[in-house]
Amino acid sequence: MLAPSRTTQAKVPLCDFVRRLALLTPFFLLGVSPLISAQSTSSCDPTSSDCRDSSNSGSGQNGSTAYPTQGAGDVNGSNSTREQKADQGTQLYVDSASTNNRRQTDTNRTNVFFPPDPLVDMQRLAKAATGETLPVFGRDLFQRAPSTFAPADQIPALADYLLGPGDEVLLRLWGPESFNGQLTVDSTGSIYVPQVGAIHVAGLRVDQLQEHISADIRHTFRNFNLSVNLGHLRSIQIYVVGEARRPGAYTVSALSTVLNVLFVSGGPNVQGSLRRIQVRREGKVVSELDLYDLILRGDKSQDIRLQANDTIFIPAAGPQAALAGSVRHPAVYELRGDTTVGGLLELAGGFTPTGSTTQISLERIEENRSRAAMTVNLDEAGKATVLHDGDVLFANHISAAYQQSVTIRGNLANPGRFPWHAGMHLSDIIPDRMSLLTRNYWEQRNRLGVPVPLFEPLRPMRPRQQTSRTQNGQTQNGQTQNGQTNNTTNDSTTGIISNRAGISSLGPDPDTLDSSQDSSVDQNYNGSSSNGNNQVSNSNQRNQNSQDSQEQGDREGLMRPPETSLSSGSLAEEQQAATSHNIANIGQRNTIKIPAPEIDWSYAVIERLDPITLKNSLVPFNPEKLLQNHDPSQNLELQPGDIVTILSQADVHVPQDEQTKFVRLEGEFKGSGVYSVSPDETLADLVQRAGGLSTKAYLYGASFTRESARIAQQQRLDEYVTSVSISMQRSAAIRAASSNNAVVDPNALVEQRDIIAQLRKLRATGRIVLEFRPESTGGASIPRIPLEDGDVFRVPSRPLTVNVIGAVYGQNVFLFDSRRRVEDYVLLAGKENPIADRSHAFIIRADGSVYSRQRAKGVWKNSFDAAQINPGDSIVIPEKPIKPAFIRQFVDYSQLFSSFALGAAALSVIKQ
């Protein structure tokens, strides 16, 4: 390892040292070690109190400071040496013939990362040919300096080490006379032993030292024991030149080798050779180091020990060739001698398992004028092809095709590839029906039997809805943020219409189900009274209860059934939600559904490639006839490369008669539950099979939902919202163009955006109105409609209440009385308040239909107030829309008439 020069440390005044340190700071940051003179040039008096010794060493013989000479650094680090002197006031090495003090070098170093190497011309050439940026082989060995290392003088000296001036000899003598000393070889090559005299040891090998000293001591003493060892070894100066990353002169330990110096100096630069590093001594090349031997084989036989004034010369890189593709180490390699294709493959570690060993692609530069491409067969003659400078080789990959194999995929237990053999048929890879059950099917079924733990941690409860929360600038009590009453009718009426009519107002967003369900309460029923005190109706409470009951999540990732994820707001759902809300802890909902897509028994297919025309064709077969009927005509013979695909009903929409249908009956049935239905079974047949209706069934308030209807409704709803958005934007543009004031009201734009956002949250429920009459009872009234998978039929019990909501003095729920009419219930609610729009009142029937005042208009009078009310109906009194004040209209018309008058006056003047 490297060490500072073995000279003594002179006392340097602190003020002068600080001055010089400040001047050298830029060099330290750049990693440069300039030559520093140790002689003090300061005018500071060394005897003054302001001048301090910059080190803790004793005075030296030659009065000079031990700094490394110009270069990038040494093992102990030239930069690190000066920094430690400035920061800690310590000396790394104190080594002289007159002192025995020496401090241990700090071996903890910070990682030094060198900047990335620029691309050489050969790398750019290889990238243009192969599309890959290849590294230069072996360059990563010197990308960073070692993080920690020990000084080379702390390791035992080898037997062939030659002593020289500056080496320290540890001499221990005992017997009649005792002596224990640390003796330094002086400049004459001798050590001085008391009572014995000078003993010349320079030039001796370590294994000869003890015998030589013992022979000289015998002239003086008899009957003694002697132990001779080496202490601190001398330092030598070497030079790193040529294509080195950090060339310069380095002070190194006498035990340092070529590799020690190369690692500290950063090794060759990007243009330097890794295969012909020379050690020159007295004008001759004494060794040549090939780093490829070290990297590939760990061979350090050419890593010789350095001597004083040795020069490490790094020549420019020799010829290079690039190897890419399916080899273990694709890179740019330096060639040495007549390197062949086989030799380069050996350097790269051979082919990877996906590499083709039959041939290799070669691109060559012909006489520095043009490029040529060729293919080299990897036989004995091809591997012996001699490479040239600039050759680019690419190891091809093997073909991705599977030979003599058949692939089966799709809806089955074990998809994969199977070896093909002559006479192979479909029955060989699809042995029975059970092989078509997928792994997902069994995972879903096995998950149902997971036991429930005895104790579970409490789940945090979501905060309840607060009435002070605002939505779109309106609080729940009907007051806007600026204190004005919002008299619009869109919140208090349309939310109820959409609920009962088959659209869930502000249904849950797919990503935030719970939060959207919370907000739907405010947005469905947001009516306000003239006093600003909005009383929450029982219908609002029912919706809230329904949403609270949906907060119980299904464990193990099970999805809720479609009929419980969205509330349609019908009488049946309200009763179910109210019943669930009264239960203390619902827990996990048990669902019955098809665990995995079922097999399409009527169609499967073989994909086959014609080896002559290379065209694909499809050969269908019937899995049911193959596996259940064992029809030989469906047991087709397979060919190599065939791909057999087993489809499920999720892949292809099959006829309704072939689908498995689960229909849910809930409410007032004698056998409520989930039933599988046959292809020709109708709703009336299913109800009869379930035992019929109970005595409390109220068919008029029943609801029937279907998934296919929900999808169609949602599509039409989205189209409607898009058209409304376009219409509102167009209207705003027209108003802005026709207005005298070019400034557009920002509040109006915000309101429009809020309205569109609210409309986009609407979710269809898929409800189909069956048009039951209020007096409908029994299974004979149920229509005979075909059933689909996922249908839900809910029949509530006969209610005893009627709702009155909207712009009345007291929104409330009243007991049903067959003698009362609309005006009677409105009178019970306190009659209409001043902001009520009585001409647009309407009734939401229990079956979801709407009966409005316009519909009740007759020839002589309107019979809406005398309309009959059924159990479960809701009477809605909307609010009047906000109209401009009379003064504002008067001002607008005045401005319009004045404009006409001015125009007429201008025309009369022009005519005159």
716 HSE (CA, 13 A, CB side): 10
Residue 769 domain-assigned? yes
Task: Find the helix or strand (DSSP H, E) in which 360 lies.
Answer: strand 355-366
Residue pair 622/669 in contact (Cβ under 8 Å)? The answer is no
Task: Note whether 902 and 761 are same-domain residues.
Answer: yes
Q: Which of these three, 653, 683, 700, is where a domain ends?
A: 653
Give the whole-angstrom CA distance, residue 480 versus residue 466. 16
Residues of the chain with pLDDT under 70: 1-112, 145-155, 452-570, 572-573, 576-588, 738-744, 884-886, 888-893, 896-897, 911-912
pLDDT digits (tens, 9 = 90+) for 305-339: 888 899 999 999 999 999 999 999 999 999 998 99
Task: Give the pLDDT score at 645.
Answer: 95
Rg of the chain in Å (alpha carbons): 49
818 class by beta-carbon count within 10 Å (0-12 exposed, 13-18 middle, 19+ buried): exposed
Residue pair 54/12 in contact (Cβ under 8 Å)? The answer is yes
Residue 278 domain-assigned? no
Range of the domain at 625: 405-442+597-653
User: Rounded to whole angstroms, what are the CA distances from 349 to 64, 182, 379, 733?
Assistant: 53, 52, 18, 72
Residue pair 398/356 in contact (Cβ under 8 Å)? The answer is yes
Domains of the chain: total? 3
Task: Note whether 770 and 624 are same-domain residues.
Answer: no
**Quick one: which of 99, 39, 105, 103 has its CA closest to 78?**
105
Q: Which of these three, 618, 637, 653, is where a domain ends?
A: 653
pTM of the model: 0.58
Judged by DSSP in three states, 228 sits in strand
Q: Cβ neighbours of residue 705 under 8 Å, at least 6 residues apart?
A: 562, 563, 568, 765, 766, 767, 768, 791, 792
Task: Note whether 772 and 900 are same-domain residues.
Answer: yes
Task: Give the pLDDT score at 10.
Answer: 38
Task: Note whether 762 and 894 are same-domain residues.
Answer: yes
Q: DSSP letter for 92, please.
A: S
Residue 276 domain-assigned? no
Task: Give the pLDDT score at 379.
Answer: 93
Task: Note whether 840 and 761 are same-domain residues.
Answer: yes
Residue pair 698/779 in contact (Cβ under 8 Å)? The answer is no
Bridge pairing between strands 874-877 and 801-806 = parallel
Task: Note whether 639 and 757 are same-domain residues.
Answer: no
**Quick one: which of 85, 19, 96, 27 has its CA closest to 54?**
85
Task: Note whether 724 and 851 are same-domain residues.
Answer: yes
Residue 216 domain-assigned? yes
Residue 810 domain-assigned? yes
Task: Give the pLDDT score at 665.
Answer: 94
A 10 A CB-CB count for 350 gives 13
Give the whole-angstrom CA distance, residue 339 versus residue 868. 105
The CATH number that applies at residue 759 is 3.10.560.10
Give the whole-angstrom CA distance, residue 525 versus residue 465. 13
Query: Which residue bears the tokens 């949602």?
Result: 714
Angle subtended by helix axes 538-549 and 571-581, to nearest 10: 60
The CATH number that applies at residue 188 is 3.30.1950.10
Task: Note whether 632 and 718 are same-domain residues.
Answer: no
Task: Give the pLDDT score at 194.
Answer: 87
Residue 615 domain-assigned? yes
Task: Give the pLDDT score at 674.
Answer: 93
Judged by DSSP in three states, 51 sits in coil
Q: Which of these three, 231, 254, 277, is where a domain ends?
A: 231
pLDDT digits (tens, 9 = 90+) for 394-411: 999 998 888 899 999 998
Residue 698 domain-assigned? no
Residue pair 260/75 in contact (Cβ under 8 Å)? The answer is yes
Residue 784 domain-assigned? yes
Task: Note whether 729 and 646 are same-domain residues.
Answer: no
Helices (H), 72-134: 78-88, 121-130
**Quick one: which of 525, 576, 511 has its CA closest to 761?**
511
Residue pair 2/263 in contact (Cβ under 8 Å)? The answer is no
Task: Note whether 629 and 719 are same-domain residues.
Answer: no
Across the beta sheet with 673-677, what order do the strands follow?
A: 673-677, 661-667, 792-795, 703-705, 767-768
Task: Note whether 782 and 876 are same-domain residues.
Answer: yes
Task: Note whether 625 and 751 are same-domain residues.
Answer: no
Task: Give the pLDDT score at 362.
Answer: 94
